[in-house]
Copies of this chain bind each other. A is one copy, B any other.
Amino acid sequence: MLNLKFADGLIPVIVQDARSKDVLMMAYANEEAVRLTQQTGFAHYYSRSRKKLWKKGEESGHFQKVMRVLADCDEDCLIYEVEQTGAACHTGYDSCFYRTLEGTVIGTKVFDPGKVYGKKGH
């Protein structure tokens, strides 16, 4: 097991679709979130705004089954390789990275967020 470095208790996590290799989202995990991800096989994160641990999909049903976790050379960043149910982004796009820097939409909308979430949130 690598010796992960957490900055202020958190490590950034890049979430990649295991099949298409699309980058779906970026989030943060604390030690407990990494441990729960390994133990359960489903992606867990730590929300900096809500200051709480969360399991992706707990509200939307859009869970992420984690196939493999990779760490980088400095052991301060992770990749979760996942099988995504539904879509990763709370906006309804398949990936959070659905726009170029110029604002051109390049992603695909796969659900209506108003029908999935009671209120705005991942």
Contact = CB atoms under 8 A, between A and B. Distances in A.
Interface stretch (A39-47, A53-61, A63-71): A63-71
Nearest to A13: B26
Max chain B Cβ within 10 angstroms of own Cβ: one of A14, A73, A89, A93: A73
Q: How large is the interface on A (under 10, 10 to 19, 20 to 34, 35 or more residues)?
A: 35 or more
B23 A23 contact: yes
Contacts of A93: 73
A73 B34 CA distance: 24
Given A14-B14, A21-B21, A26 B72 contact: yes
A44 to B, nearest CB: 14
Contacts of A21: 20-22
